[in-house]
């Protein structure tokens, strides 16, 4: 566990388990240290405490807003970063049968069929598989290297404008930790 996560855990233990007034200053100290390290839970907790003015903290809506804005900025930044295994959160109603049928797994018939069609050179299937693998959509876990390979094959072989654009965007998004730097220059040609 990171140090700020340990501080956040200490805040939770002191607040929920012990809940003694003598630990209030320790709880506040651990919460501030954790929030200073950009821990989201501590930032939300301190924002809430300043919003309501509880646990001896003054009501300060500006400071509360600052904590909440910091958490929101971190969340937006995290959503822009693509990491291996990351899944894209999709809004689906459980009563919408059509949307539920589109949810798949990697060994499910729909995904296997799309992958088969993509390997045969069908541009629409290549776009769908690449998108699912890159963003982790429709129940498929994100596999960036595999997605980049599908984008590259589609852009180079099929010359599909959508795949070429998407491949260029993927490369320009600086997946340098996955791809050699020379591929970054290839993005400009697409």
Instruction: Note the Cα 71 to chain centre separation in Å.
Output: 14
Q: Name the least confident of 50-54, 77-81, 144-148, 157-161.
A: 77-81
Asked if 130 and 147 touch (Cβ cutoff 8 Å), the reply is: yes
Residue 31 corresponds to which tokens in the numbers above? 């919460």
CA distance 154 to 41: 42
**Cβ 142 vs Cβ 136: under 8 Å:** yes
Residues 128 and 112: their CA atoms lie apart, in Å, by 12
Choice among 22-31, 37-46, 163-172, 174-183 with the minimum mean pLDDT: 174-183
Q: pTM of the prediction?
A: 0.47
Angle, helices 40-52 vs 24-36, to 10°: value is 130
User: Has residue 36 got a pLDDT over 80?
Assistant: yes
pLDDT band at 26 (very low <50, low <70, confident <90, very high): confident
pLDDT digits (tens, 9 = 90+) for 87-113: 566 666 656 667 656 666 777 777 788
């Amino acid at each position: 566990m990171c140090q700020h996560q340990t501080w956040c855990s200490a805040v939770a233990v002191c607040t929920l388990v012990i809940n003694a007034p003598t630990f209030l200053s320790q709880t506040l100290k651990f919460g501030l240290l954790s929030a200073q390290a950009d821990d989201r839970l501590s930032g939300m907790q301190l924002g809430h405490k300043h919003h309501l003015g509880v646990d001896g903290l003054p009501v300060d809506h500006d400071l509360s807003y600052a904590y909440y804005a910091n958490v929101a900025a971190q969340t937006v930044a995290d959503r822009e970063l693509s990491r291996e295994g990351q899944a894209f959160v999709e809004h689906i109603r459980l009563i919408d049968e059509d949307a539920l049928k589109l949810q798949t797994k990697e060994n499910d018939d729909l995904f296997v069929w799309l992958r088969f069609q993509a390997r045969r050179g069908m541009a629409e299937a290549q776009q769908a598989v690449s998108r699912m693998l890159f963003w982790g959509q429709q129940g498929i876990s994100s596999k960036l290297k595999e997605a980049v390979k599908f984008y590259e094959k589609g852009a180079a072989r099929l010359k599909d404008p959508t795949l070429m654009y998407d491949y260029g965007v993927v490369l320009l998004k600086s997946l340098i930790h996955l791809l050699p730097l020379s591929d970054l220059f290839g993005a400009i040609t697409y």
